[in-house]
Structure 1
Amino acid sequence: MSAMNDSPDGLPHVKATVPVRETPLWAVLERRLFTVLDQAWREFEATYCGPDGRLTYGGRMHHRDGVDDFYEPFFNWPVLYRLGGADDLLPSAKKHWAGVTAQMTEFGFVRDEYEVGYDWFHQGESLNFFYAICAADPDDAAFRERALRFARLYSDPAQGNYDPAARIIVAPHTGSGGPRPGLGTEWIEYSARQTGMKAYGLPLDDLPGIADWEDLFSEENARRMGDAMQERLGRGDTAINLAATSLVTNAWLYDHAPEFGNWVVDYVSAWRERAAANGGLIPDNIGPSGIVGELHEGHWYGGHYGWAWPHGLHSVEAAAMIAAVNETLVTGDTAGLDLARVPLDTVVAQSVVRTDAATTGSMGWGWAQKMSVAPGVPVQLVPYRHGANGWFDLHPVPLIYPVWLWWLTSSAGDLGRLESLEKDAGFDWRETKWFQDKEEQGHEAPWVSFLLGRNPGYPEDALALALGQVAKRLALMRATPYGPPDDDIHWWQRLNPVVTEVLTQLVTGAPPALYNGGLALARVTFGDALRGRPGLPDGVAALVREADADGVCLDLVNLDALSAREVVVQAGAFAEDRIDQVTFDQAGDGYPADSHDYLIPDPEVRPVTTSIGSPRLVVSLPPLHRISMRLKITRRAQRPAHTGFAHTATQKDT
């Protein structure tokens, strides 16, 4: 059979002809990781979940916070399914979504299957799970209906959450119940006795008689601060609301309804115009009349989850990047990425090199522990927050954001920004650090070094790490086979044994979705053409070795000794990219040679190039065969869409 023809459904078809002579270690580790993960999620489910999928919990819920914490333990289960996890993982994920939704409805936190009303820093964390299910099974009519209904909570002004005249989401806390005034009972007073918030300091720094944290031990001052927070932080729009664009973009990906696409563009454009009026830097607060600083004496800083409190760059840059990515999906144009570039460049321009990275910032200790940076090591620090006295709260540069900018554009400028951060990073970018956090990120440096050809051992190192991450979580689960102690609703997040950061990087050539509500993108995604489902077929391993402006280099290996596999290779997470050309290796004669020969021959290969002109192609992998491909890709050549793989099912080659 020739190495290139058309598959039965009309897609271009490539046949692998190179036998597996030396089994790649990365491929073995990758398939081992899939196996262990599919064992681990079943154990988590059996240990901590009820028959309907809810988490077993007998404690109380407090204030308005908590919905996200019940969805988060499952957020990346559909991600694993889409990568190639077990067939029953998707129905299990849907069961847990339904069970948690019912559980939260009983607590009064969810109405009509959606959060009654809370901030988008946390709503984004809740919705990662929902978005991943929609992407994994776009043919599910019930989830499609939910996606459209949820999006209209914001795109339809009649729902009360959006003011089209002022172009604002009208409150920091919004949802299926409409805008919820204030910040809830949690902040009726803001006391220094709330010790968990001490690291973040004063929510508002302009109240007479309240100059530092100690002043909040006064009951009167604590109540005055609470009143001001309810009035000034609890009204109007805030930058973190930009994460709502993912909810609407997710709906747009089904049918490209103008009501959704136009809303995303209009809302993001409104924030970009405000940034332009602020010298390019996105402000964090818009008053009820649509005016920047209306509730903060004209200041561009001070809003809820904004530049001043509590996390600064950590929340504002995440929302700006999420919005810029969503606008790029809808328009196909990366021109709007300055919404996320300028905040990053602004804080980097204020950077200093210091030796106290672990102790100087409100969140620095965790970074130093994860990166194994000892005291005394010089590290470039940037200010995360801005108040009346200027920039403050120094932390290491968060690499995930410059990585996303470079990943989206492959431009020399975005690569240069990223590479400039390696000096004084405080650690060797090529070293794979052994840690995991709930956001499934943090290993950007060694991965980027690998893609740039500077860290060839990363796949093996990272997959060994991922297996170690699962082993630790399983050990923690087995040591604590009971509900959360002290009603700690964050407890299950730390035990979720499904780890997908490394698989996402190596298999799809992309960073994981931004944790506070980003959609998952990819350079390539895969489907099983014989079974009509997303993900790598059993026994097949994939590795994106290079990714640049012109395309990707991809290896596929079929480790199965008996059965052939048919792999659909798709450019982009939503088939938004076009494969223009493929160059792949084709084996000549000479393998396996004569049985009288003692040597195991190394098959000769030659490159073959052919035109494609489609977002998809099918690769046939005979047993114990491999293929290396260079895919020449035009990015954002087509309108992205939720697309399944059922219609690509083919008959096995005979």
Structure 2
Amino acid sequence: MMNRFLSAGLWIILLLVSPDAFPQSDTTFLKTVPYHTPAPPPEWALLQRQLMDALYPAAMEFVEKYTYPDGSLIWRDEWPGMDGSDDGYESFYNFPLYYALGGPVEMDKLSRKLWEGVTRQFTEYGQIVNEFDAGYDWMHHGEAYTNFYFFGLADPTDRKMRERALKFAALYFDDGTENSNFDSELKIIRSPLNGSRGPRMVNTAEDWVTHRPILSNYPLPYDDIPHVTTGKDWNNDEKFAYILEALNERMMKGDVPLNLAATSLMLNAFMYTGDEKYKKWVLEYVQAWMDRVEKNGGIIPDNVGLSGQIGEHMDGNWWGGYYGWKWPHGVRNKLEATTIGASNAYLVSGDDRYLELPNSVIEAISREAREEDGKKLLPHRYDQRGWYDYRPLQAMYPTHIWYMSRKEKDWARVKELLDPDEMLQLNYVKGKGEERNTATWLGYLEGEVPNYPVDILKATYQEMQNRLEKIRKDTSTPDQQDVHHWLNLNPVILEGIVQTMLGAPNHIYHGGLLHTSVRYFDPENQRSGIPADMAALVEQITEAGVSLTLVNLHPTETKKVIVQGGMFGEHHIQRVNQIEIYPYQFDTVDHAFFQAELGPGSVVKLEIEMSRFRNPPSYAFPWHGNEIPVVDKTYD
């Protein structure tokens, strides 16, 4: 599996650290080990650096056209209903990640100003109360708060964002009142719709007013709603009253798997503070859903009532819940939410047994699989008819499980389930930041698509240009723009950079944290991200570690970069080996990170041996020591 390494290195100095971690703002004590072998820069390195530099002016053109100076969107004076704040945040969701990966320093302040602007704007509209969404589901919360989580990667010292992280997590602790989102005894989130105003168990027609046209394109939530026969009835006020009554009676009381995305909110607070209460919440909540799977015969139920009983408000049926097995997306939401929850539990505990949760979903539908024209089709929905809606499973779902486990059996399952043709060609999905060339990236790791790094970086650059062209031609006015208008035009596209530089699939869009093989810091400028004039490529991923190529494109200056094991320092780097030189150079690290110093025009190719999920995850930078300092930042 994925059995390739690159060729010889040029000049690198590995600065090895002791297990005591860096004193704040001091890396001068580190041990130096030099290497020196010349080579020209690879094409992927030139393209990666070009893309990193080009995304900033593209972002600025987008922001200048669609926002006011205070960071709010140039849009309508009013927006009703409960839907929409997520789309405002999504419009700039990856701006802080771009900075965290090495984008210009101006992106940090800009991304925080935009977050503040959207928060104020949707507070005025009514969707946000006390800086958090008043009451929506965790598919949409997940879309919104991915933006927020990335601030911890960009700069965890920001006092405002840290305080918000703790305030938002507090919304999901049991406060002992009927307005509590969480029942700590039963380990349930008490409604599919929840937020700063508590569980929303009774919905009004106004809540759904802007979302009804979208849902009219999906199957009905139930087939026995009086006077309702088609999805188009969402747009009929008289018939919608019956749909709303069914939703309130059957769906809005109790827990659903979708709420597992709330574990990212809790883990976000943990990585600022290290406070065990957030870890405990994540592990207990994920375990509660694992227990429900066992109780339901190996299939995750999509609804749990307020007393903790499966099917309590659904006539005893384990299916029929909000964003459940039937409506509106079927298996997709079960796989995303369980993978998010299990990955977060694994990250914070180091125990891979939590991956049994998403594995149970794939196993349940795999038992019902069919084959047609050489392709494996799996059911995506279940209701009173049994399993139905057979189609291929998207590659991203089993890929994320394999990426966390690194087990051969999970890799074999990925190859069994995905369409082999998808591994050989790029397939850009436009809009909402959901560009997912996961299958083709897997083809690269398998050795079948060796030119993938060049191809994906070129395709990303082209898509950025395509979106800029649409922005320039956009003559629409606010009254003509829906709430998704800007997020479909965002030119900051990072999939190719995440895959090549970090050795990872894109995060799960609906609230997943970004789990990666490695991460980079700039010690010279004391910030997150790969330094200017540098590029990096993860080429091989195994259970034991990764192979990594580092490039210094500057012809006259030496560059230093700190390489960390995992996005959150969770992986312990045991040893770094420079490969394809004779004799091999082995250097012991025994820490979460090491520092490399590359001479002018240098290229070095390394094997990094890791002990995965050994360290507690944290947003701390290498020079922060054991506690992240807190500072006041301005965004104007």
Q: Under a length normalisation based on structure 2, what TM-score does the superposition of the two structures give?
A: 0.90
Shift of 1:432: 1.8
1:74 match: secondary structure: coil
Give the conservation status (yes or no) of the 8 Å contact 1:571–1:579: yes
Answering whether residue 112 of structure 2 is matched by residue 106 of structure 1, we say: no
Give the conservation status (yes or no) of the 8 Å contact 2:12–2:597: no
1:437 match: secondary structure: coil
Give the conservation status (yes or no) of the 8 Å contact 2:319–2:382: yes
Answering whether residue 170 of structure 2 is matched by residue 170 of structure 1, we say: no
Answering whether residue 519 of structure 2 is matched by residue 530 of structure 1, we say: no
| Structure 1 segment 309-324 matched on structure 2, within 5 A | 309-324=327-342
Answering whether residue 564 of structure 2 is matched by residue 570 of structure 1, we say: yes
Whole-angstrom CA distance in 1 between matches of 2:486 and 2:593 = 38
Q: Give the match for residue 283 of structure 2.
A: 265
Shift of the 416–46 alpha-carbon distance from structure 1 to 2, 3 Å rule, reads: same
Whole-angstrom CA distance in 2 between matches of 1:432 and 1:51 = 38
1:580 match: secondary structure: strand
Q: Give the match for residue 412 of structure 2.
A: 416
Whole-angstrom CA distance in 2 between matches of 1:137 and 1:380 = 44
| Structure 1 segment 378-527 matched on structure 2, within 5 A | 379-422=375-418, 425=419, 427-480=421-474, 483-484=477-478, 486-527=480-521
Q: Give the match for residue 65 of structure 2.
A: 47
Cα deviation code 1:329-360 (max 9, x no counterpart): 221111011110111222233233457xxxxx
Shift of 1:512: 1.5
Shift of the 488–3 alpha-carbon distance from structure 1 to 2, 3 Å rule, reads: closer
1:570 match: secondary structure: strand
2:499 match: secondary structure: helix
| Structure 1 segment 212-361 matched on structure 2, within 5 A | 222-354=240-372
| Structure 1 segment 9-20 matched on structure 2, within 5 A | 9-11=28-30, 13-20=32-39
2:421 match: secondary structure: coil
Whole-angstrom CA distance in 2 between matches of 1:257 and 1:117 = 26
Whole-angstrom CA distance in 2 between matches of 1:255 and 1:530 = 26
Shift of 1:217: 9.1
Shift of 1:611: 1.1
Shift of the 349–30 alpha-carbon distance from structure 1 to 2, 3 Å rule, reads: same
Shift of 1:260: 1.1
| Structure 1 segment 76-225 matched on structure 2, within 5 A | 76-158=94-176, 160-185=180-205, 196-207=214-225, 222-225=240-243
Whole-angstrom CA distance in 2 between matches of 1:141 and 1:296 = 44
Whole-angstrom CA distance in 2 between matches of 1:435 and 1:305 = 23
Letter in 1 for 2:413: R
Q: Give the match for residue 363 of structure 1.
A: none
The one of 576, 579, 583 aligned to 2:573:
579
Whole-angstrom CA distance in 1 between matches of 2:282 and 2:624 = 30
Whole-angstrom CA distance in 2 between matches of 1:216 and 1:139 = 46
Q: Give the match for residue 545 of structure 1.
A: 539
Whole-angstrom CA distance in 2 between matches of 1:469 and 1:152 = 40
Whole-angstrom CA distance in 2 between matches of 1:454 and 1:184 = 53
Shift of 1:190: 13
Whole-angstrom CA distance in 2 between matches of 1:16 and 1:41 = 38
Shift of the 303–13 alpha-carbon distance from structure 1 to 2, 3 Å rule, reads: farther
1:155 match: secondary structure: coil
Answering whether residue 615 of structure 2 is matched by residue 638 of structure 1, we say: yes
Letter in 2 for 1:625: S
Letter in 2 for 1:308: K
Letter in 2 for 1:574: F
Shift of the 382–225 alpha-carbon distance from structure 1 to 2, 3 Å rule, reads: same
Give the conservation status (yes or no) of the 8 Å contact 2:71–2:115: yes
Give the conservation status (yes or no) of the 8 Å contact 2:205–2:244: no
2:160 match: secondary structure: helix
Shift of 1:114: 0.8
Q: Which structure is richer in relative contact order (CA contacts within 8 A, separation 6 or more)?
A: 2
Whole-angstrom CA distance in 2 between matches of 1:500 and 1:216 = 36
- State which drifts further: 342-351 or 492-501: 342-351
Shift of 1:645: 4.7
Letter in 2 for 1:447: W
Give the conservation status (yes or no) of the 8 Å contact 1:47–1:482: no
Letter in 2 for 1:404: H
Shift of the 507–225 alpha-carbon distance from structure 1 to 2, 3 Å rule, reads: same
Give the conservation status (yes or no) of the 8 Å contact 1:205–1:387: no
Letter in 1 for 2:615: Q
Whole-angstrom CA distance in 1 between matches of 2:429 and 2:192 = 33
Root mean square deviation, CA, Å? 2.4
Shift of 1:642: 1.1
Q: Give the match for residue 559 of structure 1.
A: 553
Cα deviation code 1:8-61 (max 9, x no counterpart): 4555555452223x3210000001101111111111111111111111112531
1:39 match: secondary structure: helix
Whole-angstrom CA distance in 1 between matches of 2:460 and 2:316 = 48
Whole-angstrom CA distance in 1 between matches of 2:260 and 2:155 = 25
Give the conservation status (yes or no) of the 8 Å contact 1:532–1:647: no
Whole-angstrom CA distance in 2 between matches of 1:16 and 1:528 = 20
1:442 match: secondary structure: coil
Shift of 1:206: 3.8
Letter in 2 for 1:142: K
Letter in 2 for 1:146: R
Shift of the 187–642 alpha-carbon distance from structure 1 to 2, 3 Å rule, reads: closer
Give the conservation status (yes or no) of the 8 Å contact 1:63–1:184: no
Give the conservation status (yes or no) of the 8 Å contact 1:56–1:483: no
Shift of 1:296: 0.5
Whole-angstrom CA distance in 2 between matches of 1:552 and 1:426 = 24
Q: Which runs of 5+ in 1 are unaligned?
A: 356-377, 587-603, 649-654
2:91 match: secondary structure: helix
Whole-angstrom CA distance in 2 between matches of 1:68 and 1:428 = 31
Whole-angstrom CA distance in 2 between matches of 1:566 and 1:344 = 43
Q: How many residues align?
A: 604
Whole-angstrom CA distance in 2 between matches of 1:252 and 1:6 = 28
Whole-angstrom CA distance in 2 between matches of 1:393 and 1:386 = 8
2:402 match: secondary structure: helix
2:59 match: secondary structure: helix
| Structure 1 segment 612-623 matched on structure 2, within 5 A | 612-623=589-600
Give the conservation status (yes or no) of the 8 Å contact 2:522–2:529: yes
1:154 match: secondary structure: coil
Shift of the 169–583 alpha-carbon distance from structure 1 to 2, 3 Å rule, reads: same
Shift of the 218–448 alpha-carbon distance from structure 1 to 2, 3 Å rule, reads: closer
Identity %: 35
Give the conservation status (yes or no) of the 8 Å contact 1:578–1:638: yes
Give the conservation status (yes or no) of the 8 Å contact 2:319–2:325: yes
Letter in 1 for 2:100: R
Shift of the 5–153 alpha-carbon distance from structure 1 to 2, 3 Å rule, reads: closer
Give the conservation status (yes or no) of the 8 Å contact 1:11–1:617: no
Letter in 1 for 2:393: V
- State which drifts further: 498-507 or 385-394: 385-394
Q: Give the match for residue 23 of structure 2.
A: none
Shift of 1:205: 2.7
Whole-angstrom CA distance in 1 between matches of 2:237 and 2:563 = 62
1:427 match: secondary structure: helix
